[in-house]
Amino acid sequence: MFTAETGSPVLASNKESRRMSYAVTNPATGETVRTYDAISDADLEAAIAAADETHRSWSKSTAVDERAALIRRVAELHRERRQELAELIVREMGKPIAQALSEVDFAADIYEYYADHSPDFLKDEPIELLAGQGSAVIRRASLGVLLGIMPWNFPYYQVARFAGPNLIVGNTILLKHAGQCPESAAAMEQMFRDAGFPPGAYVNLYAAHHQIERIIADPRVQGVSLTGSERAGAEVAAIAGRHLKKVVLELGGSDPFILLSTNDLEATVQNAVDARLDNSGQSCNAAKRFIVADELYEPFLEKFTAKLAEIEATDPTSEDAALGPLSSLKAAEILDDQVKRAVDHGAKLVHGGTRNGAFFPTTVLTDLTADNPASKEEFFGPVAQVYRARDEADAVRIANDIPYGLGSYVYTTDNDQAMRVADAIEAGMVFVNVVLADGAELPFGGIKRSGSGRELGRFGADEFTNKKLIRIG
């Protein structure tokens, strides 16, 4: 089966998973455009062997600067094929076309960032000796073949932040994309080939679920990175642990947006709307729980609800679309069920309409108590939960009362309070008075049940490296 959050695999029975294929099903129309068969076991073996051989040969015989130049060409190809790439993911997962184009641009930015900076990230790092003669350095080197298990919500961006730095390091990539993204997955593999990477450096796998465990267990595979649901992450981490493989997990989130004070409520409300509706609300680090100081609660709720109500889900191919369908009919059905269960447990439905196929309306819930299951869940779509906080301490308490710890947002006019709250929030990332501010240079990742490890920036380039100590006497 596939999880609602990101389409990452939960390892199913062999009988079930062998029947599965990859398919492009347009969520806006419900039409299945094309299906693709899963890779055969023989072809999978050949793919792993090619990746291993390329690591042992090409990766060892090329310099960092050479590999960085190839990644720079991948960035250029993203820009050259921008429109085509964007249209693929509009059809595969319903992203509004303007946002799809922006995603392609961001992926290109990430590749360029690593092409510019990875040679510096990989330079020898001297260690000052406390005793003895000689010197010591840390020299970074590749680990080998890596498996990436990627989600549907950001088909290009997610791959860029994994594949870009690791190919420059010298690792080779086996990339298993979400089942609904076979055409964008194939387009990316073609770009790596067209950029000049040899066969085996980056291999797209239409792998069935029963094959995932086999790939992770293979001794030639040295690590696995998964972006997906909590359940998928737990299963993949368990397999990786059994086989002593390095693992990076970027899982779900229910990020708080804490509003304590503002000089411009209109602008803050717009930022809150933008933070909730990015990617039609299907972003792991989108703001999902809005925690508002008591004196601002009523005016914020009124303006926030009115702004959300202005935005309607519409044809994602329209240049003006701000909100498209959810990624699939199933995803919309699951979100609909979550909202109904939240109301059944006492939440108030302030705004929201009826689901129309895969299209889901903007929705606002209030009066969620700590014992309402919805207060501990991730809502992957345009649904906002709004909480009233008595004071700063209460806002922090509500923010941290969640199993997740990915990102967070703090709005305040008090700089000391901003840093105090940022320190108190249990999350991997805190953004103060700004939203949609991710950058190629900024490390991305969470704590608690949101995963482990980091992607992007210098820390992302360091996850799958052998930090080898060389001590010279």
3-state secondary structure 254-294: CEEEEECCCCCHHHHHHHHHHHHHHHHHCCCCCEEEEEEEH
Burial class (CB in 10 A: 0-12, 13-18, 19+), 462: middle
Q: Give one DSSP letter per residue of 323-365, joined into a string.
A: ----S-HHHHHHHHHHHHHHHHTT-EEEE----BTTB---EEE
**Which is catalytic among the residues 92, 189, 230, 284?**
284
The bridge status of strand 363-366 relative to strand 383-389 is parallel
Which residues in 15-35 are b (16+ Cβ under 10 Å) and which e?
A: eebeebebebbbbbeeeeeee
The answer to whether residue 284 is catalytic is: yes
With H, G, I as helix, E, B as strand and everything else as coil, classify residue 309: helix
Residues 6+ apart with CB under 8 A from 310: none
Question: Residue 352 in contact with residue 343, Cβ under 8 Å?
Answer: no
The answer to whether residue 455 is catalytic is: no
**Which is catalytic among the residues 5, 230, 250, 392?**
250
Tokens 């350095």 label which residue? Answer: 137
Residue spans of beta strands (DSSP E) within 72-220: 125-126, 135-142, 145-149, 172-176, 202-205
| Active-site annotation, residues | 250, 284
